[in-house]
Structure 1
C-alpha cells in the first residue's frame, strides 16, 4: 500500500508520520515535505490527519516553578498569625522555647509539604532497540518494550489503588496483596484493574491492546464509550480505540504477544500488513508495499528484533517478491 492510498487512520498510525507531527523529527519532516511537493492533491488529507493527531495527543499540564512558589506563599501566609495577647512565662520555661519553636516549625513544614505537594512521579522510558525491567514499589515487575514509557507515584500506601500510566508496550507481573489492594494500569483508551495477574499492554497506533496471560482483569473503557466494563480471562485479547470507538474481543495464544521480551517477534497466520506494522513499531523502520493486494497474505514464523533480513529472506522465498532498501531505515517491497 502506498501513502497515496492511505486513509486518515493509517496516517495517524504510521511511525514516520507520528515522528514528523509529534517529535518534529528532521528526517521525517524532510520526507513528508518532499512527498507533499510531489503529491499536492493529498495535502488536505495530510493536514487533516496532522490536526487530528495533535488534538488527540495533547500533553497533560505539569506544575511549573511559578506554581510551586505560589503554593509555598499560601503555606507561609496561613502560618502568619498575629499574637493577640502576650503572657509572661516563668524563666525555667523560657530557655526551652527556642527548641520548641524549631520542633513546631519542622512539624508544620512537613505537614504543609505533605498536604500541598503530591508524591513525586517516577518515570521510566526506553529508546528504540532497548528493553528494560522495572520493579515497582510493591515489587510487581514491568518489562518495557522498545520505545515505551511508564510513570507512577514514588511511594504507594495501602489505602489507595496502585496506579501506573503507560505509553507503548509492556508486560506486567502484578503482585497480589493480602488486603486485595487493586492495581490499575491507565492508557488513553482503557483502565485495566487487577488484583494479581500477568498481562501484556500495547498502546501504539491510537488504540490499546490487552492480552491476558493468566488471572482475571476488568477493563473500563474510555468515558466516551457506552460499552460496559469487560471482564477478561486468561487467553482473552481486547483491542479498543477511544479515537475510533473500534472494539475487538477474541481468544488468542498469549505467548505470541509477549515474545518481544526475548527480542523476538512471533506471528501465527498474521496478515502481512499487520506484520509490517509490528516491525515498524519495534524496529523503527519504514516498509512500503507497492502492491496493496499483497498486504492480505499471511505470515507464520519468528523474526529476531535485531535482524530484519530474516523476514525479507522468508518473504522473497515464499511469495516471490523483491525488496529494495531505499534509505537508512526505509524499504520497499514490490513484485518480481
Structure 2
C-alpha cells in the first residue's frame, strides 16, 4: 500500500505524518508538500486527517479499542456531513416551507461550526474518557503539573501528558508523554514504581529527577539524580538498561538505534529556565533545538555552516540576540523570510 491509498486512521498512526502535524518537523513538512503536489486530489483527505489529529491531541486509542473508536468517530462525521452543504448546495430537506429553507440556508455556516465542535468534543471523550487527565502545551507555552502522588512534571512546549485520574495505590504510577518534560518523582515508602511511557521506551523509577525528550522519532532520557531503568520497545534485547546520574540514553524503536553517553544534565534541562545551553554543539543541532522549542524554520544555504560548533546560552524569549552573536562569530548573514522562517547564508569575501 502507498500513501496515496491511506485511510484517515492510517495517516494518524504514521510517524512521518505525526512529525509533520505535532512536531512541525521541516523534513516531514517538505515530504508532505511534495506528496500533495504529486496527489493534489488527496489534499483534502490529508488536511482532514491533520485536523483530527490536532483535535485529539496526538494520541491514538489503545490497540484493543481502535476499531470501535474509529467506527464511532466515522459515524459521527458521517451524520454531521448529512446536514452540511454538498458542492455548495444544501442537502434537500423535503417538507420544509420555502421561507424556512431560506432561514436554514443562512444558519447553515453556524451549524457547520457547531457540528465541528461537537465532533471534536466527542472524539476527545472517546479517546480519553472521564477517567483520564490530559495536559497539552502549544509553542511558547510551558506548564507545571502536580500528579496525584504529588510528583511534579514540567511540560515543555508542543507536548502532551496524560494519566489516569485515580491511581491504584497498589499498582504502578503511570504517565504517557509525547514531546518533552522534566520529571521530579516523589519517592513512596513502599517503593512503588513510577513509569513514563513513550513510543520507544518504558522508563521505570522509584524517586528521581530526569528529562525526557520524544521528538525526532526517538526518545532521549537524561538522568539528573537517582536511578532509572529503561525497557526498550521493539527491541530484541529484553534486558533493562540501568542509568546513573549524568547518563543520557537515546533510543528509536523505528530505527533500532541506541546510544548511551555521559553528559552534563543541566544542559538538557535548561529549557525549564527558558534558556538553551550548548557546549561545542554543531550548529545543525542548535538549529534543531530552536525549531523544537520555538517552532521556527531555519534554512542553511551553506552546509559548512552547520558543521561549525557553538558554545553559549540562548534565551528562548530573545532569539534576535542569538542571531546577532552567530552573525559576528561565523561571518554569516541571517535573513528573516517569513513570520517564522529564516535563511542563514555565508558572507563572501
Asked if these proteins are the same fold (TM beyond 0.5), I'd say yes
Structure 2 counterparts to residues 82-161 of structure 1, below 5 A? 120-161=131-172
SS in 2 for 1:316: helix
Q: For 2:241 and 2:326, how far apart are their aligned partners in 1?
A: 38
Look up the match of 2:85.
none
Within 2, Cα distance between the matches of 1:196 and 1:23?
29
| Higher alpha-carbon deviation: 117-126 or 146-155 | 117-126
- State how many pairs are aligned: 256
Residue 280 of structure 2 is matched in structure 1 by 269
Structure 1 residue 239, shift from structure 2 partner: 0.5
Superposed displacement of residue 23, structure 1: 9.1
- Partners in 1 of 2:310 and 2:69 — Cα distance? 50
Match of 2:237 in 1: 226
Partner of 2:251: 240
Using the alignment, how far apart are the partners of 2:35 and 2:342 within structure 1?
16
Distance 1:334 1:289 in 2: 6
Offset of residue 30 of structure 1: 10
Matches of 2:252 and 2:267 in 1, distance apart? 22
1:199-243 C-alpha deviation (Å, 9 max, x unpaired)? 000000100000000000000001334363100000000000011
Q: Report the RMSD for the aligned CA atoms in angstroms.
A: 3.3
Aligned residue runs from structure 1 range 170-209, under 5 A: 170-209=181-220
Q: CA deviation at 1:295?
A: 1.1
Unpaired stretches in structure 1, ≥5 consecutive residues: 1-11, 44-49, 68-116
Residue by residue, what CA displacement relative to the aligned partner does 1:166-205 show, whole Å, maximum 9, x if unpaired? 0000000000010010000000000000000000000001
Q: Which residue does the alignment assign to 1:46?
A: none
Query: Aligned partners of 1:248, 1:214: CA distance in 2, in Å?
Result: 19
Q: CA deviation at 1:254?
A: 0.5
What is the CA distance between 1:294 and its match in structure 2? 1.6
Report if aligned partners of 1:13, 1:205 keep a CA contact under 8 Å in 2.
no
SS at 2:166 equivalent? coil
**Structure 2 vs 1, CA of residues 35 and 305 (structure 1 numbering), >3 Å: closer, same or farther?**
farther
The separation in 2 between residues aligned to 1:24 and 1:316, in whole angstroms, is 26
Give the secondary structure class of the aligned counterpart of 1:139. coil
The answer (yes or no) to whether the contact 1:273–1:295 under 8 Å persists in 2 is yes
Partner of 2:173: 162
Q: 1:260 to 1:14 in 2, by over 3 A?
A: farther
1:326 aligns with 2:337: yes
Map of 2:317 onto structure 1: 306
**Unpaired runs of 5+ in structure 2?**
1-14, 40-45, 51-57, 73-127
Aligned residues of 2:199 and 2:253 also touching (Cα < 8 A): yes
**TM-score, normalised to structure 1's length?**
0.69
The alpha-carbon distance between structure 1 residues 29 and 294, as it changes in their structure 2 partners (threshold 3 A), is closer
SS at 1:196 equivalent: coil
Partner of 2:61: 60
Paired residues of 2:20 and 2:29 also in contact (CA < 8 A)? no
Q: In 1, distance between residues paired with 2:190 and 2:148? A: 16
3-state DSSP of counterpart to 1:239: strand
> How much does 1:24 deviate?
10
For residues 82-131 of structure 1, what are the alpha-carbon distances to aligned partners after superposition, in whole Å with 9 as ceiling and x for unaligned? xxxxxxxxxxxxxxxxxxxxxxxxxxxxxxxxxxx997110001111011
Which protein shows a greater Rg? 1
Closer, same or farther in 2 for the Cα pair 1:309/1:177, shift >3 Å? Answer: same
- Pair 1:225–1:202, CA change in 2 (3 A): farther
The aligned residue for residue 249 of structure 1 is 260
Distance of 2:281 and 2:246 partners within structure 1: 17
- Quick one: distance in 1 between partners of 2:36 and 2:346? 26
Q: Secondary structure at the match of 1:60?
A: coil
Kept after mapping to 2: 8 A contact 1:14/1:205: no
Q: Structure 1 residues 58 and 147 mapped into 2: Cα distance closer, same or farther (>3 Å)?
A: closer
* Correspondence for 1:335: 346
Q: TM-score, normalised by structure 2?
A: 0.66
C-alpha displacement at 1:35, in angstroms? 10
Distance 2:16 2:330 in 1: 26
